[in-house]
Amino acid sequence: MTGKARIAVLISGAGTNMAALVYASRIAPCPYEVVLVASNDPEAAGLKLAAAEGIATFALPHKGMTREAHDAAMEAAVLKAGADHIVLAGYMRILSDGFVERWEGRMLNIHPSLLPLYKGLDTHARAIAAGDSHAGTSVHLVTPELDAGEVLAQIAVPIVPGDTPASLAERVKLAEHQLYPRAVADYVSRWRNPAWLLDQLRARALALPETCEQESFGSAGFRVGEGKSGKYFAYFADRPHGHERIALLVKASGMDELHALVEDQPETYFKPAFYGARGWVGIVLDRPDLDWGDVEAWLQRSWRAVAPKRLTRLMDVAEEF
């Protein structure tokens, strides 16, 4: 799959951030499209705009419903629209843990403060009262704890003399309208960002015993063992020679396995130039459905294939327990 991410935007009010997300999605190339705008308030102004833009809408007042039942109805609408990410844009509801957990890593929020400062409500009044030089806005992943998920992007906005919470909120929104579309676009397309892929790979490769990173012909390489006796067990190859994709090169058990993998799953595996002849297999990393568990298993296998015996023996013993 290399299509666009499909986002559902949840709003409670004006929906100006939702509008910014929609209009940014109309400027090519944008890696997401807005497939639903949903609200807990049928009167939310943003719903009318979304409908006028030809976007599916859904509204359900929460009054008289349990939190779980209301969340379930919102989630059903999101699923019906075929959304793969939920983007909260001024959705003024605390979400139930189950809902948040089901969308872990696929639900983003924008919060009008420089998190971790001023979680919750009245952020601008609190920043002014504290005499802060700056307020700001943060885009973060949603986790069950309120406004505490990983911060993906922030912009600081100066507080000027005479600012009221309302005047500051208006200026912070200008920043939000720039920040949110960019942060959402970066997040949903991170699977094809070489810097992000290398970070992910590096963390996993260097978690294995006695490993270090050493560049090899301009690519990041990962070695096991001490000093000169160390050996490479993995290479990060950003569009390697003769190939369009971003890949990990690891040791296959031999040429038979290498050829079988390439034949059975040509979308995932390939025989790299030069290295292929020595039994290294290329694994395509820039796939939205990449399973990092598989990558970890390959790194371990390859590490084992070249690691000194004293280390693999220790691993064998550890695995017996």
Give yes or no for a contact between 100 and 91, defined as CB atoms under 8 angstroms apart: no
CA–CA–CA angle 153, 159, 160 (5° rounding): 145
**Pattern of binders to ligand GAR over 95-134, x per CB under 6 A?**
---------------xxx----------------------
List the interface residues with ligand GAR, window 69-98 (CB under 6 A).
89-90
Q: Which residue sits closest to ligand GAR, CB atoms considered?
A: 90
Q: How far is the CB of 251 from ligand GAR (least distance, A)?
A: 49
Peptide bond into 266 cis (omega under 30): no
- From the list 9-17, 34-42, 207-215, 222-230, the region that binds ligand GAR by CB under 6 A is 9-17
CA–CA–CA angle 7, 26, 181 (5° rounding): 55
C-alpha–C-alpha distance, residues 33 and 185, integer Å: 10
**Pattern of binders to ligand GAR over 148-177, x per CB under 6 A?**
-------------------------x--x-
Residue of 62, 70, 85, 111 with catalytic role: 111
Q: What is the DSSP letter of 12?
A: S
Among 8, 10, 17, 74, binds ligand GAR (CB under 6 A): 17
Of 22 and 247, which has the nearer Cβ to ligand GAR?
A: 22
SS (H, E, C) 141-161: ECCCCCCCCCEEEEEEEECCC
Annotated catalytic residue 111: yes
Q: Which two tokens stand for residue 84?
A: 């793969």
Of 163 and 286, which has the nearer Cβ to ligand GAR?
A: 163
Give yes or no for a contact between 137 and 179, defined as CB atoms under 8 angstroms apart: yes
Residues 6+ apart with CB under 8 A from 277: none
Q: Which two tokens stand for residue 221?
A: 């390489």
Of 69 and 94, which has the nearer Cβ to ligand GAR?
A: 94
| Phi, psi values for residue 206, rounded to 5° | -80, -5
Q: Is residue 15 a contact point for ligand GAR (CB under 6 A)? A: yes
Give yes or no for a contact between 126 and 135, defined as CB atoms under 8 angstroms apart: no
Of 137 and 211, which has the nearer Cβ to ligand GAR?
A: 137
Q: How far is the CB of 12 from ligand GAR (least distance, A)?
A: 7
Residues 6+ apart with CB under 8 A from 243: 237, 270, 272, 273, 282
* Pairing of the two strands 107-111 and 85-88: parallel
Count of residues engaged in binding ligand GAR, rule: CB under 6 A: 14
Among 4, 13, 156, 182, binds ligand GAR (CB under 6 A): 13
Q: How far is the CB of 137 from ligand GAR (least distance, A)?
A: 6
Q: Is residue 14 a contact point for ligand GAR (CB under 6 A)? A: yes
Q: How far is the CB of 18 from ligand GAR (least distance, A)?
A: 6
Of 111 and 204, which has the nearer Cβ to ligand GAR?
A: 111
Residues 6+ apart with CB under 8 A from 222: 202, 205, 206, 211, 212, 213, 214, 232, 233, 234, 235, 299
What are the catalytic residues?
Answer: 111
Residues engaged in binding ligand GAR (CB under 6 A): 11, 13-17, 89-90, 110-112, 137, 173, 176
